[in-house]
Structure 1
Amino acid sequence: MNRLIELVGEMQYDVCVLTGDYRGRTFGPFQLALDGVARLGAHLKQPIYAVLGNHDTIQMVPGLEAIGIRVLLNECETIVRKDERIFLAGIDDAHFFRVDNIEKAALSIPRGEFSILLSHTPEVYRQAAHANFDLMLSGHTHGGQICLPGSIPIKLEAVLPRRMGAGPWQYGYMTGYTSVGAGSSVVPVRLNCPPEVTLHHLRRA
């Protein structure tokens, strides 16, 4: 966490998004995880948007929002700059809890407007493309975490094509990016799959 704080402190960006899994376990106490996110949040620039992952509980939402993180639970926010706008939607966990509702999240987005979907898992890429999202940002896979040389994942823990397990990908007219994340899962080890914090630049086509 200390290294992550060092990295993000100097970054320049307009919006920060977090795609879930703020704690290691999928059950039990979560205050230590919230304390860690609060330490990180003190070094992040506003606005900060987030979705929950399969390791998170809905009970964490008040704590996350108390430290300035807007959690999107099948909701959409509009980011406005002068006379231009981007619609940013986020869905609840679709992998474990299966409480995602893309249709509800996209309901307020006018057709033809640029839209981004935050989803902890990229497994819902088909539904996201069908809902006309332009960009989908996800995590969950850890890129496999333990990979063969060339960052080839042995196992992804997600039902989707391997090409969507890490980095940029395309599905129809929708662009996607699956972050390998900044941490680890189950064991504190990464092999041929270094952690990342991703800085995306959006430019008019």
Structure 2
Amino acid sequence: MFLTRRSFIKKMLYSGLGLLGLSGGGYYYAHYIEPEMLSKKIHTLTHSNIPRSFNNIKVIQFSDIHLGFHYTVDQFQTLVQNIQAEKPDLILFTGDLVDKPHRYSFNSDIPNILNQLNAPLGKYWIYGNHDHGGYGTEKLEAVMSNGGFTLLKNESTQISYNGESFTLAGLDDVMLGKPDLEGTLGIISEQSFTILLVHEPDIADTVKNYPIDVQLSGHSHGGQIRIPLLGAMVTPPYAEKYVDGKHTISDQLTLYVSRGIGTTRMPYRFLCKPEYSIFTLQSNQ
């Protein structure tokens, strides 16, 4: 079977990270140092449909924790403290709380930590593929609910402030769930500023056919391993086209892809620091 250059590099990456220079000090950095280098991405969302009441409202997105795969409850506690220190108005989680729900020993620690997050306009979440995997669907829903988060599963809600509002929508996971784009997005008003939460970013090429202004996604981990000139080396299905950062999909739709917090499949990050995102809303009416 013929291998492209990119496929060949990926195979070499899995068989031995040393072939890409991640040996010795580089291996130590990728395994132990960079995964702890939590960063934040700061964005401004400006749109004529954002009500003036929402000027300077702060929205925080975090994604892809993957508790249990080289990410501990103590690390999660530190993350939550960092997020709360930002004084968010609205908190959004875009999926994959636990790496393998069917093997994870759930207790009250996670809901207790989640309840330390406070946001006057609410806390919302969507399923990721790992949240559905391993029969974790009901477990994760209970954990997040007990932590004060509201699930958006093929539904939308109005975020209201000072008598004005915008639309927040969420889709079920693309890979292992049953996302209903038409039923969820087909009824949204074109006059309402709308943020959509969906775990897998590549679905943006279909979302652009609906009146959505901003799509927030995760899933990609930014590739976890990024090599200069070659880019992301590890990209899961539905995160192969849009891997990291901001993408203008159409005249209306802008996509933001978070690198997420934890790791999966391989416990490494190289030139791909974990992150949470801060969005400040601005009306240009």
TM-score, with length taken from structure 1: 0.89
How far apart are 1:74 and its partner, in Å?
A: 0.3
Q: Is the contact made by 2:203 and 2:238 (CA closer than 8 Å) also made in structure 1?
A: no
How far apart are 1:18 and its partner, in Å?
A: 0.2
Which residue of the other structure, out of 197, 213, 227, is the alignment partner of 1:148? 227
How far apart are 1:14 and its partner, in Å?
A: 1.2
Rg comparison, structure with higher value: 2
2: CA distance, partners of 1:179 / 1:84: 28
How far apart are 1:132 and its partner, in Å?
A: 1.4
- Residues 160/31 of structure 1: CA separation in 2 closer, same or farther (3 Å cut): closer
Which residue of the other structure, out of 166, 176, 183, is the alignment partner of 2:244? 166
Q: Identity across aligned pairs (percent)? A: 26
Q: Could you say which residue in structure 1 is the equivalent of 2:80?
A: 5
Q: Is the contact made by 1:24 and 1:186 (CA closer than 8 Å) also made in structure 2?
A: no
Alpha-carbon RMSD: 2.0
Equivalenced residue count is 201
How far apart are 1:104 and its partner, in Å?
A: 1.8
- Residues 36/189 of structure 1: CA separation in 2 closer, same or farther (3 Å cut): farther
Q: Could you say which residue in structure 2 is the equivalent of 1:157?
A: 236
Q: Which has the higher helix share?
A: 2
Which residue of the other structure, out of 85, 102, 113, is the alignment partner of 1:28? 102
1: CA distance, partners of 2:219 / 2:239: 12
2: CA distance, partners of 1:2 / 1:98: 28
- Within 5 Å, give how 1:174-189 maps onto structure 2: 174-189=253-268
2: CA distance, partners of 1:82 / 1:31: 42
Report the AA paired with residue 118 of structure 2: K
Which residue of the other structure, out of 114, 128, 150, is the alignment partner of 1:41? 114
How far apart are 1:154 and its partner, in Å?
A: 1.2
Return 5+ residue gaps in structure 2 as ranges.
Answer: 1-75
SS at match of 1:193: coil
RCO comparison, higher one (Cα < 8 Å, 6+) = 2
- Within 5 Å, give how 1:1-205 maps onto structure 2: 1-25=76-100, 28-32=102-106, 35=108, 37-46=110-119, 47-57=122-132, 58-59=137-138, 60-94=140-174, 96-149=175-228, 152-159=231-238, 162=241, 164-172=242-250, 173-205=252-284
Return 5+ residue gaps in structure 1 as ranges.
Answer: none
How far apart are 1:160 and its partner, in Å?
A: 5.4
TM-score, with length taken from structure 2: 0.65
How far apart are 1:108 and its partner, in Å?
A: 4.3
